[in-house]
Structure 1
């Protein structure tokens, strides 16, 4: 019998397939990447939603951040930005909604108060002057997009001007002079326009027409306002519209279509008119400062 204790011991090792363990470092790198992308898209969204003035303020801040830490104070884009300093104050720059809203609100309040005051003034004048009382229906006030509009309209057998001419009737002169004193109480510029009905001249539109007549009547009203004390610097525009903008569209021959329209302009309307004429309000102000006017 053989000795079992002398037999060799064989150990079988089974190798398992598959990949070895690499750790979790890749998860951290992926999380950092996702966080960075989220921050990038959030930054893009924020930059796309700010105003131009605020954007310039942010740009100026990062271009010269030491200015804030050294001197502090207000700076570019200060109207809405949390970042102070870094350039010129842009709170009055075009595109700043905050400043535009404030100016518009002041204009609206001033013109509304002007309308109420004028209505009260004319009511008192009508009580004191029996001649003006018969013309009260010919004076119309309303608020339009450009500002406060004051219209003096014709009535049947009671025209503002002599027929077919720019010669003012006496009551029209009195009324325009009353309005002139009233307009000087506000700093706003004034626009004048003349309108006619659709009655034609014998010579037709090739000769003297409603276009010339409406412009001549507007200028005659301008001269009377100045004679009544209105500063000629306040008149920004004088227009003749002929018969193209009737008050009574159903009856283009209605005397009410013959009228003078005076608009006390708000800030936006004045700026638009200056830009249409080729000069912005800022440019006009700069010229006035240089010339001392």
Structure 2
């Protein structure tokens, strides 16, 4: 009995675990099963909604994806597909997108060169008609006023490659400006007032240039010369046009050309070389003049000279 008191006491610990039939591990497995079934039914719905041709395109893509991506073709990028796009650009809705395709942008229109040329030609014709109508209006306005009609021979209007050119030239006994000054004669102001009101009828901008004859100042080119005089006269004409009602924003360029561009090249001292030239510029001339270093050409001098000679003979 004494030995029994020396026996070791053995304690058994039993770890109880919850789970089994009533645990939560089955929920994870069920969620995986539901996810797989959703993916399966979604795939079946997509296959059922896609046309036969699109299915062939999809199959072709997975067979040779690089070939379809580079060369294009009928496939999931077709507009009839429920999966829009295809290729590198998923926003495209028509056909596969190849690497060589260009993004037209939100406002870009594809037109042929012939269509563009036709539109430009039509715009040029419409602009030419506007300038011709303006020419007729100015001529009619001068004819309607007896006080201005007597100066008709000094007012030359013609259509050039730059637009409508209006030239007001001097005569021997009827100058536009005071001698060697930029002071406008009263009848010159009346002419410019009439022209200024008419110029608002067209959206075209204008260029003014002053011209003198070759008679030099006593001081030559070192002091105040024909260059300053021609520029001052061009600016005086600009002010008169604006005073007559022309929008001041229409003026694009005012230059003084001295005697560099003579009207009568045979006689540099002819009073007709003293003139103001107003060019109602067409779109091409306006774009050229707006560029840095652009120029406005002066053409058809021979034709204008013939008009003066013919008018003077009448």
**TM tier, shorter chain?**
0.5 to 0.7
2:127 aligned residue: 107
The unaligned stretches of length 5 or more in structure 2 are 1-86, 96-102, 295-314
1:80 aligned residue: none
Q: Where do residues 206-217 of structure 1 align in structure 2 (5 Å cutoff)?
A: 206-217=222-233
1:119 aligned residue: 139
2:162 aligned residue: 146
1:157 aligned residue: 173
The unaligned stretches of length 5 or more in structure 1 are 1-61, 71-84, 279-293
Q: Does the 8 Å CA contact 1:154/1:257 hold for their aligned counterparts?
A: yes
Q: Does the 8 Å CA contact 1:68/1:86 hold for their aligned counterparts?
A: no
Q: Where do residues 4-15 of structure 1 align in structure 2 (5 Å cutoff)?
A: none
- Alpha-carbon deviations, 1:88-146, whole Å to 9, x = none? 32579x99434432322221121112112222222112xxx2x3232111000001111
1:78 aligned residue: none
For residues 88 and 130 of structure 2, the distance between their equivalents in structure 1, rounded to whole angstroms, comes to 42
Larger Rg: 2
- Give the deviation of 1:195 after TM superposition: 0.2
With normalisation by structure 2, the TM-score equals: 0.58
CA RMSD of aligned residues (A): 2.8
Q: Does the 8 Å CA contact 1:189/1:264 hold for their aligned counterparts?
A: yes
Q: Where do residues 44-63 of structure 1 align in structure 2 (5 Å cutoff)?
A: none
- Give the deviation of 1:276 after TM superposition: 2.6
- Matched positions, count: 200
2:194 aligned residue: 178
Where 1:69 maps in the other structure, the secondary structure is coil
For residues 154 and 142 of structure 1, the distance between their equivalents in structure 2, rounded to whole angstroms, comes to 17
For residues 238 and 131 of structure 2, the distance between their equivalents in structure 1, rounded to whole angstroms, comes to 21
With normalisation by structure 1, the TM-score equals: 0.62
Where 2:167 maps in the other structure, the secondary structure is strand
- Alpha-carbon deviations, 1:158-205, whole Å to 9, x = none? 100000000011110111001110101111101101000000000001
